[in-house]
Structure 1
Amino acid sequence: MFLSRNHKRASKLPEMIAKLNYHVLFSPIVYVKPTAKQDPSFISLKVRCFSTYRLSNDANVSVTESSQLPNFTSRVSRIARTEALEVLFDYLHCTRGFSFTDAEHISKNSPHFLQNLLSRIDSEKDVARNLTKFLRYNPINEFEPFLESLGLNPSELPMFLPRHLMFLSDDRVMLDNFHALCDYGIPRSRVGKLYKEANEIFGYDYGILALRLQAYETLGLSRPIVIKLINCCPSLLIGGVNNEFVKVLERWKKFGMENNWIGGYLSGKRTYNWNRMLDTMDFLDKVGYSEEQMRYLFNSNPSLLFEGSGKTIYLLFGRLLKLGLKMDEIYSLFTHNPHILSGKRLKNLLQAMYFLLEVGMEPKYIASIISTHIQLLGSCTLKGPKTVCKELKVGRYDLCQIIKEDPLKLFSKASKSKIKNSEQASSQYPSIHIEKTTFLLRLGYTENSDEMMKALKQFRGRGDQLQERFDCLVDAGLDCNVVAKIVKQAPMILNQTKAILEKKIDCLRNYLGYPLDSVVAFPAYLCYDMERIRRRLSMYVWLRERGAAKPTLSLSTLLACSDARFVRYFVDVHLEGPATWESIKGHQP
């Protein structure tokens, strides 16, 4: 028995020696640098052992295993990598029967997996032959290069690799849905996001996914917009058409905005809460925003909806409530200052609130300043409290008292904007300048813009006078937004007194018989002097009564032409025309 045991041990000895020799021969020897106090005689050599495919019982190549392997990236030449890529393509296309497009995309877009393959062969000699031989006897887990080529990070793969499956052909349903996405136009490299965030769609029965995609086109969205939308919000493909998204589109349609408008503002780096967007629009509707105002608001500042899905509006509303403003007061602020939510103004308003809180102002005073000067708070970018205190050489308490006594000093002392030379005359009367600026902000001008600077020169009069003239046009029957539009087109309109504007409106309506909307097509009518209007309209009415002129000529035809042209076409066309024209010119109103 003793001899038999020794015989068995002796028979195993060559095998043990062979394994030991293999580890010593094929394991790199690492030199360990001695420390300063180390005895040179004790410098050690560490043998680092790596597990290789020759010692592995697992036949397939796995990325998860390769994470334990050393990084050979720097050792592999470009030629070797190119040869390996071609071998992997041939293996997938010719051996495994992948389509040309699938095999090409997977082989070219799975660099980590390819590197793993190269680490398992001698990548310095005949890479093509060695890798072909390796793949012949070592089938790969095809899901690994496939998922990597879709854009998944190699570190994420273990979470998404299916159990007990190695070949893509084993999951035909998943492949069919993948091809449905590709055929629709979704980039293959973006499918990985859908695989992570909406994995359920890859289990749909044949044809279902294509119908879901088509359903969004029936809403009026173009295919490129649907592709972008799905890339940003994969969850839209889960279940039926997203009802909240449909309601958002319906609201935009009421505002006069095209469905494809959304395409310019979607970003794959953000998530979108369609329900919150609906709540935001409902809130603005309750506050008193008209559909026209909301259209202008979202067109000029789409980030209100697409950055945080409307969260910023709720943030401002909540802070105003905390300051002590009542609900109806906040509604009134939003209603009378609809542009305060647009662009930089909202940011400036929030910054001003922080400024006043930092200098120690009580909430009731902050609420009072906001209620009185909300337009200016939105128009001015303020410096930090530390900077202002340093420039004025006062403490925060003193700065707070200065602002309490005269809130307008907040803008003169803390505003970053500098008054240009063209405004120096206005700076001598800061209250007049501020009132005028406030009025222009209501019209939709942007703070400190070239357009604003030009408007400050063009509009003459105090802010209250300009507002009175503006209200005159609104009271006459024009829509507020229409008046704002025509005034921006022809600023000279508001440089006239209210009495002159009323005379021109009366002449248009009661003498000529034209509707007030006629000035929308030709705002310059209100800019011509009253004498020119009286003479030409009187001549035209005289001709019209005698059938010598068309009954509804445009105002621009009557007023914009030169005197010589007017005489030719509206005076000389009738035998009694010249005499009548001279009589009209000689008549004093």
Structure 2
Amino acid sequence: MRRPYRQQFPSVSVESRLRNSLLAVDFRVLLPAFPQHFNVVCALAGMGFPWSKLGLLCKEEEALIFEMDPSELQRKIDGIKSGYGLNSVSVISICLAFPRVLYSEMDDLLSDLRVLLLDHDLLSYVEGNVDAVLEVCEKVRMFYDLGCKMGKVGELMGRSKSIFVEHSKEVLMSKIEYFSKLNVQKDQIGLFLLSRPEIFGFDLEGQVISVLGFLEHFGLEKEELESLRQKYPHVFGRNRMANLPHVMRSMDLGEWFFEKMKRGDHSLLVTYAISSMEDDVDKHYMDSLIRLRAKRTYIYAIQKLNFLHSIGFGENRFAVKTLSQLNSSSSQLQRRFNCLLHCGIEYSKLCAMVKLSGKILNQHESILEKKLEFLCNDMQSSLQYLDVFPGYLCYDLEQRIKPRFELHKWLVDQGLCEKEYSLSTIIASSEKTFVARLSRIHPAAPNKWQENSLKRDSRAAAP
């Protein structure tokens, strides 16, 4: 006869089961300090903390909990229960999501959570177990991580409790990431999403939009639209709703768009629809797409094309032209694009630079950083100069940019050149044109250039 499940295996002590459970959760953190903190671990488990969740208390500074006296932990938990009227399940869940409440004063956080869980009765909408309440607390933490101030948003969260009940953490994160792409203040994104809970039910991914039609739908006048088309022609055409935040940033409209939604126009996101199948279709783009499909490298090319659409390029001839200049993978292109943004180039200007010279993104991040450093520090120029001469980033730093600039600087310092030529004139000229200009500046200048070239070649040839 088959024995009951509990009798199939020899009995194991509580301490052994606790040790095995903890080590399975986060053995890299717990194992070195286990003997020292074992009493605290046992005390927490005795208070009702699930063994499988105790690893959440061991991250970075939260490991301070295991230095505390177990009786002090008990007093802290009892104080939270009595002070805020929360039950054991709620307090344990809060401690797991916000371990600092166990050793710091966090009245603002606890006040917010009391309003959400008790005053707005969220607890009646979730299962009464630690896993369910912990998930709610982890969702709440996402908004604090955005910069929402503890103690200031409890009522707002309570009025929008559907966010924490009806939607998964993945849905919350996807919406947060979507609007974060507009590059507006993070706390404003948090407050916007809390005040507009219906937006979590919007499909912001699959729909195809016409950029022109969408801007009209959001209220731009014909004169404004024409100005944008003249300034940012690479953005217009069709694109996906998923790329909309970067479409707006590529026209320097990110903040304008976000302010419109904050004022209540967010509903326009779901009321927009393309008027017809032919609306804003670029024939040149579609023909190019057909030719791409016939190539063996189709998938590779489409990935790069999708990268261009994701940063704001529409389905138009400019995207096709830029695609022909790109010889790196989509992931490499994204890293280099992000690198240039991190260096301080404005988003809309960077997109315009890529339109003019897509080869910029064919270079490794370290090379791009060195060129920008030389531009700003040695040439004493600014990133704004790239607006008129983005091709600067395409020339070789050691063989072209540095030697030509240094020779020009030497001529000026020696008083041999009264005119200061622009960087584009110095760098972009062909070798023949450059040497001819040196001859006109001073008869000895070409010899100096030749001498410097021989030195560079010898250094390059040295082992």
Q: TM-score, normalised by structure 1?
A: 0.30
Q: TM-score, normalised by structure 2?
A: 0.38
User: Rg larger in 1 or in 2?
Assistant: 1
More relative contact order, 1 or 2 (CA 8 Å, 6+ apart): 2
